[in-house]
Structure 1
C-alpha cells in the first residue's frame, strides 16, 4: 500500500508539472483555482486521495502551484473521485478547470449538472453537491462520463471536470481545451 501511495504522489506531481508548463494553462484556471486529484486503487475516504494543497492558481498569465501533492489535501475533488469510484473503480483521477461554453459545445461524453435543480436539502449539506453531481451523471448516463460540467449557481463558479484513470491523462485532456478557447 505504501508503494502505491508513493506512486500516486509522484504521478500527480508529474501531472501538475505538465499542467503548469503549458504557457496557456492560465486560461483554464477559474477564480476558485484548479485542483487535480488521484486516488489509490482501494480508496475509502478523502485521506486516500492525493491533491495539490492550495490548488493550482494563476497570476500574470502563468499557472503555478506552491506545494507538492499530498493525501487529504482536497475534500472537493476527492468527493468527485470517490463517488465516481463507487460506480467505476477505474476512474481514480479528476481535474476541474474553468468553464467555457465553446469548449463544452465540442465535448462528447458529457453530463451537464444544473445546481439550480438541486434539492434544497442537498444544498444545505456541506460537501453533498459534488457527490450528487456524480451520482446524477451516473444515473442519467448509466456510467461515469469523461466530462461533468458544473453549471454553477449564485456565488458558485461553473467548472468543467475531466475524469479518468490517471492524472496525466486528465491533465492532457484538459490542456487540449486551450485550443478551443476563443481569446
Structure 2
C-alpha cells in the first residue's frame, strides 16, 4: 500500500510538471528533434522500471508543446539512465529533463558540466546505452558533485542536448523555462 501511494505520487507530480511545461506558450522552443522527456524516479529506484516518464516524450506541433499519454513507469531509457546514475552519488537527484542545445543558454549556465562524446573511450561507446552512465559518472568525477546542468555536445548522428537535474520534476521544468529568456 505504501509503495503504491509513493508510485501514485511520483506519477501525479510528473504529470503536474509536464502540464506546467506544455502550458508555457514558448516551451516548444526548448524541444530538440529527439523531443523532450521529463523523468522522476522512486526514492529507491534500481532500474528504468522504477523511473516514471512521458511515453512518446513531449513534442511540438504548430509551435506548441504537446504530449499524448500520461506518465508511466518504464517509459524512458535515455533520461532515466541519467537520473539512475546521478542517484548513485546523490539520492535526492531523482528528476531530469532534456532540452534543446543553444549556445546562448550554455554560456549563461552555472553549475554545469560540458560533455564531449569524442572524449569517451571506445569500449564505453560501443556498449549500447552506456554513454549516459559514462557522462554522469564523468561529471561527478570532474565536479565532485552532480551538477544541475550537463551539456551533451552530441556527435555525428547524436543531437546535442542540455540535461537539467534536480530533486523533483517541477523544479527541473521551472529551471528549463527560465532558460527561455536566453534564446
The normalised TM-score by structure 2 is: 0.98
Q: Which residue matches 1:63?
A: 65
Q: Which residue matches 1:172?
A: 174
Per-residue CA distance 1:75-115 (angstroms, 9 max, x = gap): 11110000000000000000000000000100000000000
Correspondence list, 1:34-183, <5 A: 34-181=36-183
Q: Which residue matches 1:26?
A: 28
Residue 3 (str. 1) matches residue 16 (str. 2): no
3-state SS, counterpart of residue 43 of structure 2: coil
3-state SS, counterpart of residue 73 of structure 1: coil
Q: Distance in 1 between matches of 2:128 and 2:26?
A: 33
Q: Distance in 1 between matches of 2:173 and 2:160?
A: 18
Q: Distance in 2 between matches of 1:34 and 1:98?
A: 8
User: Number of residues paired by the alignment?
Assistant: 181
Per-residue CA distance 1:7-45 (angstroms, 9 max, x = gap): 000000000000000000010000000000000100011
Deviation at 1:177, TM superposition (A): 1.1
Unpaired runs of at least 5, structure 2? none
RMSD: 0.5
Q: Distance in 1 between matches of 2:79 and 2:87?
A: 12
3-state SS, counterpart of residue 102 of structure 1: helix
Deviation at 1:139, TM superposition (A): 0.2
Deviation at 1:148, TM superposition (A): 0.2
The normalised TM-score by structure 1 is: 0.98
Deviation at 1:67, TM superposition (A): 0.3
